[in-house]
Every structure is written in C-alpha cells, then in structure tokens.
Amino acid sequence: MSEQAIGVFDSGLGGLTAVKELIKVLPQENIIYFGDTARVPYGTRSDKTIRLYARQDADFLLSKGVKMIIAACGTVSSVATELYDTLPVPFTGVVYPTATAAVKATRNGKIGIIGTSATVKSCSYKKEILSQNERIKVYQQDCPLFVPLVENGFISADDDIVKLVVERYLSEMKAEGIDTLILGCTHFPIIAQAISDYLGKNVTLIDSGKETALYAANILGSRGLLNSSSTLGSCTYYVSDTVDGFRKTADLFLGRNVEQEAVHLSLDKLTKKS
C-alpha cells in the first residue's frame, strides 16, 4: 500500500499549491490530483452543496486506490468535516495543521485569518485556534476577489490592482497589529509577496499548503505508509472542465513547468454514485 498514490482534491487548481509543497516534502510519493474546475468556486455554495461535492471528489480519488486523501481546500476543510470520520483511508484538510502552525508562530497573540466567504463564515480556523489557546485574539476577513485575481494572472506584488485589493481587505488587520496571518485558501500563496509587502516583514504568513504537506508526511510516517522508493514519484492530474490551458495554469500554481496535460473527468462520471 505504501506505493499507492496520495489523493489531493480542490474546487479548482488552487490546490496545486499544496501539491507543490507535497513534492518538496515527499518527492518519492505518487500523487493524484483532482480539480473540480467545472464547479469552482465552492466558497460561495451552500454547506449542503459543499458537502455533496466534497464527497464526490473523495469518492473519485478512492476509486483510484489512493492511500490517503487531502482536501487542499479551506472551504471543504471547514464545512465537510464528516470526511474525517467516514473515509476508509487517512484524511486531512488544511484547518488543523495550519491553525496549529499559527498558534506556534504568534508572538503577540494576534492572528489574522483570510479565506473564502464559506471558510470565514464557518469560523473553523478561529475555533481550532481558540481550542488550542483561548487567550489568542483572532481577526477574520473573507477575500472573495483574491481567487479571480490569481486565476486571471493578476499576481505581481507591483500590480496596482493587486495592491489596492490587498489594502482593501487587510487594512483593519494591519491596524489591529496582527503578527501572524493564515492564508486560508490555496490560491492566496500566489500573492503572498503582495500581502507581505503590505503587512510588513514582522508579520508571519502561514501557508496552508505547506503546513498540510508536513502534517500529511507525519501521518503517513506514523502509519508506515511512506513510499520507500528511491525514485521520484509521479503526478497525475484530473479536471472536471476543459483541459485547455491547464499546463499554463498549473505552471503558475506549481512554480515549475508541467509536461503533461490534465485528464478530463466528466461530471456525469463524478456524480453517478450520488
């Protein structure tokens, strides 16, 4: 079983930032990624719909025989919490490992959280932080414009549009004096430089993809499921909408050139068990 792939899913391609970190931490592991690009975004959907989509995504990865599933999506991790107890393989979202890292990182006890509307509404990160340290002050802000900015290529820290949107969303947190900020959506690390430039070098940014990759490595290691191969693992990509332009978009999120195209998975196949 140790040679089986790790399954990763997200509502779109933002979860590839988590794949990027997985490749760094566990280069020998095989990875199967599914991006539900036909139904993105999840962050504006009802909780019922998010849970349905998340289960369908997980079921698809299970059909590929994965040994672990990662929901590289703050929205799913915040809303579809039943996956922790109902999947037959180890599962993690991004909330617990990311919140834990933020609690360890803060020096003044002021942590900011940014994410999709659904993530912020759920208060999942806030609840997890306060369960670990009830004295911490938590500030939340949904940032719905960040995702379309990234997906349309507005990512430069010098771009006036990016700077304006960052200031619009983060001015109150900056005024409150946070020293730690959770990037609670896998799109957000792409504009981390712009965020850091605005908040200043004394504010630590917590990348949910990085922290989740480290956490996943610990889970696999503790269960004897790490791939012991000496060769580099492979990545296979599936998307539910057109594969046109996948390589260009994947290059952006992964930070490197991607040779292969994605495989199209029709929604009919994805939803046939529902």
> Virtual CA dihedral for 252, 74, 205, 100, nearest 10 degrees?
-140
Give the integer Cα–Cα distance in Å for 267 and 207. 30
Annotate 58-74 with DSSP letters as a single string: HHHHHHTT-SEEEE--H
**Whether residue 235 lies in the annotated active site:** no
Chain center to CA of 180: 18
**Whether residue 73 lies in the annotated active site:** yes
Give the integer Cα–Cα distance in Å for 274 and 270. 9
CA 177-131-15 angle, to 5 degrees, is 75
Which amino acid does the sequence have at 248? K
What is the chain's length? 274
Which amino acid does the sequence have at 169? Y
Annotate 162-192 with DSSP letters as a single string: HHHHHHHHHHHHHHHT-SEEEE-STTGGGGH
Output phi, psi for 184, to 5 deg: -85, 20
Give the integer Cα–Cα distance in Å for 162 and 153. 10
Classify residue 164 as exposed, middle or buried by CB count within 10 Å of its CB (0-12, 13-18, 19+). Answer: exposed
The 10 Å Cβ neighbour count of residue 27 is 11
The 10 Å Cβ neighbour count of residue 168 is 12
Residues catalogued as catalytic: 73, 185
